[in-house]
Amino acid sequence: VLADIKSMTLIGQEDQNYVKFNFLPRAIERGFRAIALVRPNNYFNALAVEFISYRVQQTSVQIRIFDSLAEAQAWLQKTV
């Protein structure tokens, strides 16, 4: 999965909880193997993404956060 969330508006607590407790467990169950994210410009979003990625790293899914879309795509092509 590739997500360019650089320009995303604020990621609220409800959205963070949905990703952590609903989306990610179901995605992992259905075979997600790698997630590449483009780092958000918003400081608070960047913190939220770091927290969520820490949780994901404790599972069977690889997750990496990149500064550019090109870096994220290159990593995914090597990983998957």
Partners of residue 72 on adjacent β-strands: none
How many degrees, rounded to 5, is the angle at CA 69 between CA 33 and CA 78?
40
Query: At 12, is the pLDDT very low, low, confident or very high (cuts 50, 70, 90)?
Result: confident
Query: At 24, is the pLDDT very low, low, confident or very high (cuts 50, 70, 90)?
Result: confident
pLDDT digits (tens, 9 = 90+) for 28-71: 889 888 999 999 999 988 988 888 888 776 677 888 999 999 99
d(CA 67, CA 30): 28
Phi, psi of 20 (to 5 degrees): -65, -45
Q: Which residue has the higher pLDDT, 80 or 64?
A: 64
Instruction: Name 77's Cβ contacts closer than 8 Å, sequence gap at least 6.
Output: none
